[in-house]
Structures are given as C-alpha cells and as structure tokens.
Structure 1
Amino acid sequence: MNGKAAPRTVGDGSTRTRLERGRGALGPALALVHTGRAPTRAVLTAELGVTRATAGAVAAELEALGLIRVDSHPSAATGSQGRPSHRLHLAEDGPVVLAGQIHADGLRVALVGLGGRIVATASRRAAVDADPAGALGTVVAAGAELLAATPRRCVGAGLAVPSAMTEPEGAALNPLHLAWPPGSPVREVFADQVRAAGITGPARAGNDVNLTALAEHRHGAGRGARDLLCVATGHTGVGGALVLDGKLHTGSSGLALEVGHLPVRPEGGHRCYCGGRGCLDVETDPHAFLTAAGRDPGPGTSVLQQARDLIRDAYDEPAIRIATELLIDRLGLGLAQLVNILNPDRIILGGLHKALLEADPERLRAVVADRSLWGRSGGVPILPCVLDHNSLVGAAELAWQPVLDDPLRIAP
C-alpha cells in the first residue's frame, strides 16, 4: 500500500467491539473530515452521534488506512473555553485520484487529494480529437505522466466533459462544442483508457458545470447552502447545475439544468447551436463578450482567459465597460428566470460570469432582484466561485465518492 501501514488489528476486546460498531460510521466520518466539517475528534463525535470511544476507534481506523492524521496530544481551539480535543487532518502523503477535464481549447489534468487539494496539474492547449477515444487517451496519458512523478497511490479517476451526460449510461448526449458524435459513450471509453494505462480504481465522468457545483458545494463558495444554483461559462457556452440537500440534481436521465439554452434575446439574438436564438449559451459566453467588445479572439490564450483579462485590465475603456454591462444585463435576466423557477438559497457564478459579477456586483444583483419575484422579497445571495480549477476538483469528487462511501475499499 505504497508503504502505508495496514489497518490495525486491535487486540483489546472492548476496543474491537467499538470499532465493529463504528465501521458503518467510517464513510460518514471521512466525509466530515474531507469537507472540513470535523476539524477535531470532539466535533466528529457530535456530528456522528456516537460515543467518544467509538469516534476515537473510527478516527484510528481512518488513520491506519492512511487517509487522515490524528494529533497525538489534544488541544483547545484558540479562544475556546471547552475541553481540549485531538485535531484531525487529512493525510498530506495520502492517496490521490486522477482528474481530467476536456474543454473546447484543449485539456487539463490534475492529481487531487482528499479535501479537494490539487497536488499536481498540467494543461495542453490544442484542438480536441474528433474521436473520443483519441481525446480521452490523451487525457489519461497526461495524467499518467503526473502519476509517474509521485509516490502517492492513485485510487480512481474522474473526468469533466463540456456536454450533457446521460445517466446511467454516461454518454455525451450532444457535445455541441466538440466534434464528437452525439451519444458518444464517454464514461465507457474513459474507463477503458484508464484500465489500459494500468491505473486502478473506478473511473467516472460527468458534466463539467455539474462537477463545478459539486466541488464548490463541498469545498468552496457553496458550503452550507441547501438549494445551490451554479451558473458558469466554459471556454465556450454556458452551463448550470443545482445541488439539493447536498446532492446534485441531475433529473430523470442526467439532463437537468441545461440553462445555456434559456432564451434572453429571442428577438434578434445570435443563432444558438441548439437551433434557437438569443440563448444564454451564445449571449453571455466569452465569444459573445469579445464580439460585444469589438475584439477578435487572438492566438495563444483561450477565449475565456482573453475575455477575463479584458475585464480585469481594460475595464475603463468604454467599449469594454459597455460590453460588460451588456452581458451583465443578459445574464441577470437569465438568472432571474431561474430564481423564479427554482427558488435557490444561493447562486454561485463561475468562468466569465464570475468576472462579470466581480466587475459590477450591484448591477447584476439589481437586475436579478428587479426581474424575479423572489428577488424582490429580499434577494438571493450571488457569489463568485472560489476554487481554482473547480471542474477538476469536481471530477476528483466523482473518483473519491466510492472511497467516501466505503473507506475500507482501499485497504490491502
């Protein structure tokens, strides 16, 4: 197990009994530490609703599996008057998962540990192979290079794709921004490539914005939200996702929240890939911003980065400011419609939409409040995503989920 200690064989009968009683709590306990909700053994005890002895046995087992570390001496939190408790940390040398992301301008891969911590990352800017097997083979090969440079054990792989993904098949229904055939069996192909590369563990794939929402809900701006709406631009197009009671809402077949095809300029808007006009997908994405600003996409940098750079570095230019305000108004109209339908308790924005929010937050919030019934009743918090490479972190969450469900699956 890469030099890790095997799970301890407990000789004391009462300790063994506590551990057997607590085995069902191993997954929930790891999830609490993974998401930062159990920084100490005392908090873990309270959250699990078990005795201190059982929580101690559970923490010891997770430590023996190489997943967490338990401070040997209890300590009190700064300013706390409570009883000192052992602090819990994610193991810095613990296992990782391989995360990959395909986007219209190329790919990015990363090794991600528990807690959404990116250990290593690499990217390639190139045209995406029209054959899914070729494209995903390139992703896995890039990830294998990262794995070859680390001694840490890999326990799975996850992939983020800019397409609606059917459930349970894992097919890219209509990858509008890639040249892949509709219905490409992405999950199956990815799993085949992962196995062929000798990478162990489950291989899963999902829609990139769904995975952004999952990552931000567990580790970022969406923490604590019950009904979280995420809307984000990719390198091309717009996607949405909804997290309800801690779980992604993907609909009956995985296709829920395709918000990119919500019309915001049905009269006179740009023709959308879906066949309609004036959809969010073509009215508020990076290409739409560059068009509104009178700029042509340049070489060497993704259109997403070019658009964000203009807002950050040239916002005082009239053309850039006008383009920004134009897209804010379009985005606000779309968000208001979603608020009326979904009534979320928080909205988070990613990609170019994050940059639009940060450029003029009051304008965006005013548009949403003015055009939505719920907004007029007090407003919905609208926040920027905070994680770097959140789609990659979300892809990693797919790979970590089997371990969170049953940590013993990684035992030798």
Structure 2
Amino acid sequence: MNGKATTTRTRLERGRSALGPALELVHTGRAPTRAVLTAELGVTRATAGAVAAELEALGLIRVDSRPGAAAGSQGRPSHRLSVDDTGPVVLAAQVHADGFRAALVGLGGRIVATAPGCVTVQADPAQVLGEVVDAGAELLRRSGRRCVGAGLAVPSAVAEPEGTALNPLHLAWPAGAPVREIFAGRVSAAGITGPAFTGNDVNLAALAEHRHGAGRGAQHLLCVATGHRGVGGALVLDGRLHSGSSGLALEVGHLTVNPEGRPCHCGSRGCLDVETDPLAFLTAAGRNPGPEVSLLQRARDLLREEYGDPSVRAAAEELIDRLGLGLAGLVNILNPDRIILGGLHRELLDADPDRLRAVVADRSLWGRSGGVPILACTLDHNSLVGAAELAWQPVLDDPLGALA
C-alpha cells in the first residue's frame, strides 16, 4: 500500500474514532463552530471537517457553511454546528408519586413532544410502565420520527446490574420491583427500537443539568433535590455519574439533620428525607397538605405567594437551616466545586439565598475557605431529559455502530 493510501486510511480511522466525542461536544453545546470542534478534538481542520460531515450525513447535526459574520469581525467565519432538530429522538419517561409523563427528546436535550401526564399511579409497576410506554408510542406514531432508544426515571434507588427499584416508597410499588426488565419488555412489545435504560430520578436530573443546565462546566457537581416526597442526591464526576459499586451511592436523604426530628422510613429520625421535603414544609407552616394538588406544587405556591406570612417564613427558615446543615456535611465529604438544588430546594434557595449559603459556609471546612457556588437547577423536566441522556449515550459513544 502506498504512502498516500496509508495516510488516507489513518485519517479515516482517526475521524471515525472522533465521531462520538465530536457528537457529544455538539450535543452539549461545547462546540458551536468547526473551529472550536477542531481545537477540542485536537485534530486537523480537515479531519474535523470530515467528522462534522459524517455526523451530518447520519442526520445527527447540521453544518452551516455560510454563517453570517459578527459585526466588526474579520476573516471568514467558521462553519457553525448545531444538532439536527429533525433527526432521531429517544423516548423518555418519568414516574413519580403524582403521576407519570412521556416525551420525545432530541439531541441537545430538546424536548420535541410530551404526552399529558397521568395523575394516578397504580400499585402495579407493570401496568404503570405499560401505560407510559403506550403514551410514548403514540407520540412516536404521530411524529413519524426515528427512535433510537428509551430511558425511564423512577423515584427510587436502582440497583445495578439488576435494574431493580429497591425503595419506591412513595409509589406503593413492591421493593425490588424489576423496573428495567418490565420497561424494556414494554418498549420492545410496543415495537419501539433501540435499547431501554432505567435510573434514579435525581441521578438523571443531575446528568441533564451537567450537560445542558446549571451544572455545565463543573468537574465535581453535587445535586440535591426534593420532588413530590423525599430527598435525593447525585454526584457527577468529569461528566459521568458516580453511582457506587451497585448503583446506590449518594442516598443523601438519610443524612441526619435533626436528631430529635420526625421518624424516617429508614428507621432513623430527623433525616433530610423527612425534614426538608414538601410535606415537612407544609407541616412546619401549619398547613393541611390536602389531596387536591401535588405536595410539591402546594409547597411551591405557599412559598411564592405567602412568604410574608410569619408562619410560612419561619417554616422556610427552619428548612433552609436543616438543608444547609446537610449540604455542609456533604461538602466536607465530597468537596464539590458546585452544588445545584432542584424541586422545593430550588425555591428555598430563591427565597433566602444568603441564609442558605451562610449556613453551608459556617458549618463546612471547605465552605469557609472560599465558598462553594450554590445554584438553582435551570432545566424544566430535568429528570425526563436525564432519562433521555441514558438512551442517547450509546449513540454518543459510537454513532456509526448505534445507528447501523
């Protein structure tokens, strides 16, 4: 084989190995132009161009070869890169105590379509997951889009490698329910193509925020959130979820923040799980939770609309202090470079950011040395987007292989 042919083959091999990293850079918005892509990949301009062209041919990205120059700029502007908003999608689903939701999500974390959320979750996981997959299948039928996988977020620790929901406490599902097996079976039976994945809802929210939201750019990202009931946590290290030896890491809801506090499902007392969730807030404010709307929505409305009420403000301050105590302990153990808060915790941060940050700084070693940024999650439906990230990962790892 002559030298020219060898060089061409080598360039092709390098280009193909760069397809996944290049797609992830465009997917997460870190490579908006071909020039940035070239620099990030550490390849020649020609190789970056070939990689972008291949991803465009696969229907994954778009290359604008004639972008308008910015005012006052000199020289020819670099080709602009963006995800193809008419390309493939994945089915994403989320189940929580107050219902479920199905959506189609494209690259870039863009929600393409959603089905109306169900407000009643039955005690049989097979029935619920069948209904949510049926809703997703109808979305796919109406969209006519190609589906390359499916992801499910559940409010429970998910054991690996079995994919079982160990503690779906607020769903009335049996402990150890084989949710991944059930979900994958329903997806296959519905004729939906691609692999199916399942994960904990807060883990997936953290993954989505790291790639598309408030966590972008963080190396050691800690996410703590409360949804409709309970508290969850997640840690993203260098772009990957830290899930521990069997998927059960960061069960932060069972940190004790009030030793004489409420009994917790785990057998202890005063855990974050029962001291800083919506039910705890409503109870501390002297409000009847009521059955009319979700606990999360009722707590949010109370905090936003009646914060001037002394009982509401006192309840908020009580939860902020306990949340800050828990975060301080996590800062001491994990040394994150950023903390993001979701659910009701985001609302508590917005209500009195100085108080929360002061508690964390005062009660943590590393907080005193300069402070850890504490930000609110920014994505709507971040657990849903995170479930989609699970389904997109095989494509990000090997675009050619996954789409063949």
TM-score range, shorter chain: over 0.9
- Correspondent of 2:96 among 103, 110, 113: 103
Match of 1:186 in 2: 179
Query: Do the aligned partners of 2:327 and 2:360 also contact (CA within 8 Å) in 1?
Result: yes
Amino acid at match of 2:18: A
Moved more, 133-142 or 390-399: 133-142
Amino acid at match of 1:205: T
Deviation of 1:295 after TM superposition, in Å, equals 1.1
Deviation of 1:173 after TM superposition, in Å, equals 1.4
1:373 lines up with 2:365 in the alignment: yes
Match of 1:64 in 2: 57
Q: Which runs of 5+ in 1 are unaligned?
A: 1-11
Q: Which runs of 5+ in 2 are unaligned?
A: none
> Using a 3 Å threshold, how does the CA distance of structure 1 residues 41 and 279 change in structure 2: closer, same or farther?
same
> Using a 3 Å threshold, how does the CA distance of structure 1 residues 266 and 215 change in structure 2: closer, same or farther?
same
Describe the superposition over 1:21-60 as per-residue Cα deviations: whole angstroms up to 9, x where unpaired. Answer: 3001000000000000000011111111111111111101
Moved more, 208-217 or 293-302: 293-302
Match of 1:149 in 2: 142
1:281 lines up with 2:273 in the alignment: yes
> Using a 3 Å threshold, how does the CA distance of structure 1 residues 339 and 411 change in structure 2: closer, same or farther?
closer
Describe the superposition over 1:139-188 as per-residue Cα deviations: whole angstroms up to 9, x where unpaired. Answer: 11111121122021111100001001111111111222221221111111
- Correspondent of 2:259 among 266, 273, 298: 266
Query: Do the aligned partners of 2:281 and 2:319 also contact (CA within 8 Å) in 1?
Result: yes
> Using a 3 Å threshold, how does the CA distance of structure 1 residues 353 and 28 change in structure 2: closer, same or farther?
same
**Counterpart Cα distance in 1 of 2:297 and 2:246:** 33
1:130 lines up with 2:119 in the alignment: no
> Using a 3 Å threshold, how does the CA distance of structure 1 residues 131 and 79 change in structure 2: closer, same or farther?
farther
- Correspondent of 2:78 among 85, 92, 97: 85
Query: Do the aligned partners of 1:75 and 1:85 also contact (CA within 8 Å) in 2?
Result: no
Match of 1:206 in 2: 199
Deviation of 1:16 after TM superposition, in Å, equals 7.1
Match of 1:389 in 2: 381
Deviation of 1:322 after TM superposition, in Å, equals 1.1
**Counterpart Cα distance in 2 of 1:300 and 1:78:** 54
1:167 lines up with 2:152 in the alignment: no
Deviation of 1:20 after TM superposition, in Å, equals 3.7
Match of 1:8 in 2: none
> Using a 3 Å threshold, how does the CA distance of structure 1 residues 391 and 78 change in structure 2: closer, same or farther?
farther
Query: Do the aligned partners of 1:102 and 1:108 also contact (CA within 8 Å) in 2?
Result: yes
Match of 2:283 in 1: 291
**Counterpart Cα distance in 2 of 1:262 and 1:356:** 19
> Using a 3 Å threshold, how does the CA distance of structure 1 residues 15 and 150 change in structure 2: closer, same or farther?
farther
Q: Is the partner of 1:254 in helix, strand or coil?
A: coil
- 1:209-224 mapped onto 2 (5 Å cutoff): 209-224=202-217
Match of 1:252 in 2: 245
> Using a 3 Å threshold, how does the CA distance of structure 1 residues 68 and 211 change in structure 2: closer, same or farther?
same
Match of 1:52 in 2: 45
- Correspondent of 1:233 among 220, 226, 230: 226
Amino acid at match of 2:97: A
Deviation of 1:299 after TM superposition, in Å, equals 3.6
TM-score (norm 2): 0.95
1:306 lines up with 2:298 in the alignment: yes
Deviation of 1:366 after TM superposition, in Å, equals 0.6
**Counterpart Cα distance in 2 of 1:77 and 1:243:** 35
- Correspondent of 1:343 among 329, 335, 350: 335
**Counterpart Cα distance in 2 of 1:386 and 1:87:** 25
Deviation of 1:411 after TM superposition, in Å, equals 3.8
Deviation of 1:122 after TM superposition, in Å, equals 2.5
- Correspondent of 1:409 among 393, 401, 404: 401
Query: Do the aligned partners of 1:98 and 1:396 also contact (CA within 8 Å) in 2?
Result: yes
Deviation of 1:81 after TM superposition, in Å, equals 4.6
**Counterpart Cα distance in 2 of 1:298 and 1:123:** 23
Deviation of 1:15 after TM superposition, in Å, equals 6.9
Q: Is the partner of 1:46 in helix, strand or coil?
A: helix
Describe the superposition over 1:236-266 as per-residue Cα deviations: whole angstroms up to 9, x where unpaired. Answer: 1000000111111011111000000111111
**Counterpart Cα distance in 1 of 2:253 and 2:117:** 26
> Using a 3 Å threshold, how does the CA distance of structure 1 residues 248 and 79 change in structure 2: closer, same or farther?
farther
**Counterpart Cα distance in 2 of 1:201 and 1:408:** 14
Describe the superposition over 1:77-107 as per-residue Cα deviations: whole angstroms up to 9, x where unpaired. Answer: 5554565210001111011111000101111
1:94 lines up with 2:87 in the alignment: yes
**Counterpart Cα distance in 2 of 1:125 and 1:150:** 20
Deviation of 1:301 after TM superposition, in Å, equals 2.1
Match of 1:5 in 2: none
**Counterpart Cα distance in 2 of 1:118 and 1:277:** 40
